[in-house]
A and B are shown apart, each in its own frame.
Chain A
Amino acid sequence: MELIKVIVLGVVISFVAVLLKQIKPEYAIICVVVGSVILLGYILSSLTGVFDFFLNVVNKTGVNESLFYVILKIIGVGYLIEFSAGVCIDSGNTSIADKITLAGKIIILLIGFPVITNLFNMILDMV
């Protein structure tokens, strides 16, 4: 049922966007952005249960919980960057989209950096 709703929503949004492109091009971009916001806001809210389950699994394995949150953060940042880059590409300026993706990669590197330092410290302790 969810699938049908998402598909119909996507088709309607793209149809309205094409229609608006002839009449008023600036509204087409806004319509696409609103459509993608609705489409994904609708689906994302159902993800919370999955992450709680993974959190329990991670707790059971005794792994440090902060690692799991780092992974979650990286997924979130990656998703937001992809969303905004997609909007920029749709509106035609791909150079801004490249800059956003570059910034996203740097942010992900910064988020993952403490994990790497922990790893090196552990190795140094063992040596």
Chain B
Amino acid sequence: MDIDIIFKIAGIGILTAIINQILKIAGKEEIATFVTITGVVIVLFSVVSMISDLFNTVKTLFSIN
């Protein structure tokens, strides 16, 4: 579980960079920004759920209300 999420994020980052380059060459600048935003949103979905898991474990562990 541990490492592959980080590599997934790295892969998405590199992928969006490549797609941006291609779109830039093809002259479609605005779609490139859309691709970047969607990439970040996809990654954020998985990150947010992980952070909430960590906060729940800390809450139950330290019995914070």
Contacts and interface: CB of A to CB of B under 8 A. Distances in A.
A41 interface: yes
A102 B30 CA distance: 41
Give chain A's interface secondary structure class.
Answer: helix
A45 B57 contact: yes
Contacts of B44: 30
A16 B5 contact: no
Nearest to B18: A23
B34 to A, nearest CB: 15
B10 A31 contact: yes
Interface centre among A23, A48, A51 (most CB of B within 10 A): A23
Contacts of A41: 50, 53-54, 57
A24 B39 CA distance: 11
A19 B63 CA distance: 38
Interface residues of A, number: 33
A76 B62 contact: yes
A41 B58 CA distance: 8
A87 to B, nearest CB: 9
A37 B46 CA distance: 12
Interface of A: 9, 12-13, 16, 19-20, 23-24, 26-27, 30-31, 33-35, 37-38, 40-42, 44-45, 47-48, 51, 69, 72-73, 75-77, 79-80
**Sorted from nearest, which 6 A-B pairs have the closest CB atoms?**
A76-B62, A27-B13, A24-B13, A23-B17, A41-B54, A37-B54
Given A24-B39, A38-B1, 11 more contacts: A12-B6, A16-B9, A20-B10, A23-B13, A23-B17, A27-B43, A34-B9, A40-B54, A41-B54, A51-B61, A72-B63
